[in-house]
Amino acid sequence: MQRILTLCIGNICRSPLAQVLLAREFPQRMVWSAGLGALVGEPADPISVALAAEQGMDLSAHRAQQVNLQMCQRADLILVMEQHQRVELERRYPLVRGKVFQLGERDIADPFRQPRTVFETAYADIALGVERWAGRIRQLR
């Protein structure tokens, strides 16, 4: 599990937060994020940037990117925010089967264009999912 891809839809709210949290847990590993319908080139949502900054993480350089076959081939583990994203990713790229999992135990709601409280809930769900996955990943050493 040296290369971890986090995935959501637009790649500006949830997957960038998951990326920086996982990168903080595993600084020696390659962690990146992408979207199924990415807002290519857009920065992370300002509320995601603020939530990350409050936890000592920097999302200011993030730019959204569209998931592609090469990313999927390179990744050892792909963590999605919602079950339908897993289904769609496996439909587009059948080779990913067996390495795509949900980050949370349930879907993590998209906070895009929602109030900060929705972002805070998503962040808490993402942080919990990262904590759970970090434990799993560490057991694979």
Q: Which residues are catalytic?
A: 8, 14, 110
Record the tokens describing residue 18, joined without a space: 């998951």
∠ CA 94-11-98, nearest 5°, is 25
Distance in angstroms (rounded) separating the CA atoms of residues 4 and 37 = 19
Smallest CA-to-CA distance from 111 within 34, 28, 48, 38 is with 48
- Euclidean distance between CA atoms 12 and 87, whole angstroms: 21
Distance CA 109, CA 106 (A): 9
Strand ranges of the sheet holding 77-80, from the earlier edge strand across to the other edge: 30-35, 3-8, 77-80, 100-102
